[in-house]
Structure 1
Amino acid sequence: MKIEFSTRDVLIRNVGNYDVKIYVGQGECSKMFWAHTVILRTRCEYFKIALSNTWATQEDGLTVFVKPNIHPTICDDPWLLFASDQFYRVEEEILIAILQREDLNLPEVYIWNNVIKWATAQLDVELDTDVSKWNLEGFILLKGKMNRCLPYIRLNNIDMEEYYRNVRPFKNIFSKEMQERIEEYYFTGRKLDIFYNPRLPFIIDSCLIKYEHAALISHWINRGEGKVATREKNPFNFRLLIRGSDHGFCGEVYDRIRFEYPALLVLILTETDEMIGGYQRINSNYWRMFGYDYDRESFLFRINRGNVKRSVISRVVHPTHAVYNQSGWGPCFGEGDLWLKRHFRDPTECVCKKASYEARIAHDESFIVREYEIFEVTPA
């Protein structure tokens, strides 16, 4: 059965048409989802069986499906599933259904490595952790467990270095023909029909940050409360307004738009490769042409792009001096805590010190901007 897009959209938007209740988790740590039988059965082989009378029950004309062994947080962030020490217990049909998703925003090599671990854990024999010591029988056993998963791992999302280190040692689980075609792809870059559709990318128009950085910033904006930002979805939309390399490195560009958007995110890449920035949320009715604006929600930050957990936030401590306005200047936070004046390539015009915020976020009090981006931030 094929569902036309228009029919599918009507089903999804009309709560009255839901005919499936899915419960995950147990007790206080549980969650219920509404769904449509026709969509689940059409999009996923697993649910053709799962929603049968053998596995599911009927309640007031609705199909009820219960999975107490699935933690509800996994429904928000699939990373938790792959990282769990219980991942090896996931049923094969569920794993395949997850791998089929086009919006599974995880590094493909991470998916590959964990599926290998999952398949190895399903074997009745224990294989050496050093794959170079395996004999042919070991690869045959692994292939038997991997066969149904392999088509849904997007090898074309794994770069050549990652392929060499992580995939090639297991090349014997592929047929000779498949090995040759995979190597043809990596050596020539030619698109081949052996790969499943590529996954949907995380949508944020930035050359400075990726999904994990946007998730962290969203976490800071929400003060750790509310919806959890994941690699699939984010409680905030980030719409690019200005990029230095496209619009210029002078304050006049920002000055023309600053009164139009109450919530702005500023990202700055300095000449010393530091990623710093700030967030402000000013009620447009109180914007001043000159001087300081009050804002309790503003914060500054420094993002460690190598290890996001080592990133630093600096919240405003003097909200009456959270944001500074000056005609012709760029974004300015605090009393010099993070100021971009008229010329962003002039170190005397770009200042970072501790005054109105908890801590200084840049290592130097003056800097040169290599690139910057400014986003409008709105609830998703």
Structure 2
Amino acid sequence: MSLNFFDKLSQNLIELLNDKEEYNVIIEVENKEKSFTAHSNVLKFRSSYFRRELENIQPNENNIKIIIKSSISAQIFNVILQYIYGGIIDLKNCETRFIYDLMLAADEFELDELSNKLETLLIETKGSWLRTHFSFIYHSIFNRHDDFKKLKNFCNDIVVKYPNLIFDSNDFTSLKESALISLIKRNDLQIEEIKIWDYVIKWGIAQTSTLPTNLDDWTKENFLTLKTTLQQCLPHIRYFHLSGIEVLDKIKPYKRILDKQLWNDIDQHLIAPERPVKATILPPRSVLVTELPTRADKSFSTIISEEHAAEISTCIDRKIAAYTLTNIPYEFELILRGTRDGFAPQTFWNICHGHARTVILVKVKGTDEIIGGYNPLAWDKDTDGKWMETKDSFIFSVKNGNIENSILSRVNQPKYAVLNRSKNDQIQMGPHFGDFWMHSEKSDFTLDNYCYCRSIGIYYEKPIRSSSERFSIINYEVFKIVRKTI
């Protein structure tokens, strides 16, 4: 029989942490602007990280050991210490980003119990936030070797269905090798095999800036360099499921990065596919669809969370009491997603033509901003340029990351609420709400800084951005707002 009194033990250890008389360790954080006191025996027995650190630090003249962790915030480290001493943390009023950063810090301090618990909590209760910040999450967790396997699987389960989230992103070539391998070895990666080869070559070339731009200028040493870079990736290509034309056009120009026996086997297989080869033949990928879901499919956002959807629904209905996740009266039906359908302005008009009651969502490049607009009327691509009059449209920005508060700006000049662009303008101009519009002179909203929000309210009540500078975007989505049926 055993009697447990953990609550009292936890309380006493927290009291020890707060006691400033007997400490022998100081931890400096936030660029040495904040400091915490602690006890070496507690730290080293609770964390192997601190055990190593303390063994390598000489005490000062007062017999105090000083640990410097400049990059960690005081708020995060305070929670870490509360956990180390008392085994309890309170996440009731914490933002999801704080929980995520706390998980990373717990992993850094080798507090496996805490980091694993927070990882599970994020996956089970904060899935919409993880999807909204997908690119950031993906790159940050795959920078860590064997950590966060559950989060990595969570992300890869999304990527295999929507590969363009990673493969077509601007920072694809900065992907860690381990992340790339974890994707291309998946049998269920929903992408054509030859495209996987193209992406692998693109990634490999980007890792070595000295390779000539023109393949005809490559030397034997250049091919050897690329072969060395890709030696862990090449075994995961399904060479024997490529067509003859694909092999001739795509593989043969780079045959010198393949082992000679493998190339001979590929060549033989094209001529006599029934004959055995020495190379291992991987199974074909189980590609379920030849293209990503059509715009008629229901899907939720990669930009906003369900909480944001409730907030936007409240604005649409002009409610004083905000909708909650349990009583949102609308379905957000995806019509267009930039990463899926493309970022050409003309694509917006082609896809959204005839759709009314739509919400435009835009993720601004280089900031945490999410901005957008609601149009209750139908978009029309067949006009010569005509303003639509409505008193029910609005533009907005929503709380996200470093953006502390949402902004709602309703139309105050209904005659100039929304503009249907002329056919000539549609090549460069996308959706246009009086004081906010999407524009690209390169016919790709991600390639130049021509999207714009006015810095003062003219047609709408107030500006939705603090900056008046033009901007580019990472992604945008258009949803049709449909009332739920009972």
TM bucket, shorter chain: 0.3 to 0.5
Q: Which has the higher helix share?
A: 2
Q: Which has the higher strand share?
A: 1
Larger Cα Rg: Structure 1 or Structure 2?
A: 2
